[in-house]
């Protein structure tokens, strides 16, 4: 492994994705490596096998059958694949609130790019 190599990884301490630099390998566990968060300087043991698995799962294109049908009344998690009747298959990349205080998901659609959709909308809007 090259010296000074760093990766982007979620830091449990910072609770965000940060740049981590390699500290060193773990004896007898070739797939595990110690990394140090460049932000908070906390060390984290990262399992490269699990990481690779995660990456493969993330890169795998979702099939229609894997997707949850988008309905405004439902709520969704980041990383979930959804199917929108007009826009097709997409993946939830983040969650936010609209200026009106409604919950929204940002979905990256295969063909259209990112679109915002409301979630958790009450079936009957209050008058």
CB 104 within 8 Å of CB 115: no
**Using the rule CB under 5 A, is 10 a contact of Zn ion?**
no
| 40 lies in the site for Zn ion, by CB under 5 A | yes
The Cβ of residue 55 has, within 10 Å, a number of other Cβ atoms equal to: 10
Stretch that binds Zn ion, among 30-38, 56-64, 99-107, 110-118 (CB under 5 A): 30-38
Note the maximum CA span of the chain: 65
Q: Which stretch binds Zn ion (CB under 5 A): 4-12, 24-32, 50-58, 92-100?
A: 4-12
C-alpha span between 56 and 110 (Å, rounded): 17
Q: Is 16 in the site for Zn ion (CB under 5 A)?
A: no
Using the rule CB under 5 A, is 93 a contact of Zn ion? no
SS3 110: coil
Closest contact distance (angstroms) between CB of 16 and Zn ion is 8
């Amino acid at each position: 492994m090259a010296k000074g190599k760093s990766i982007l990884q979620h830091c449990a301490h910072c609770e965000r994705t940060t740049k981590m630099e390699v500290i060193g390998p773990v004896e007898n566990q070739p797939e595990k490596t110690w990394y140090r968060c460049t932000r908070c300087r906390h060390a984290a043991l990262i399992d490269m096998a699990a990481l690779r698995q995660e990456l493969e799962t993330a890169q795998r294109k979702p099939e229609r059958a894997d997707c949850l049908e988008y309905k405004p009344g439902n709520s969704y998690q980041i990383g979930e694949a959804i199917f929108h009747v007009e826009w097709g298959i997409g993946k939830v990349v983040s969650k936010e609130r609209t200026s009106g205080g409604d919950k929204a998901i940002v979905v990256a659609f295969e063909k259209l790019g990112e679109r915002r959709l409301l979630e958790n909308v009450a079936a009957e809007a209050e008058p």
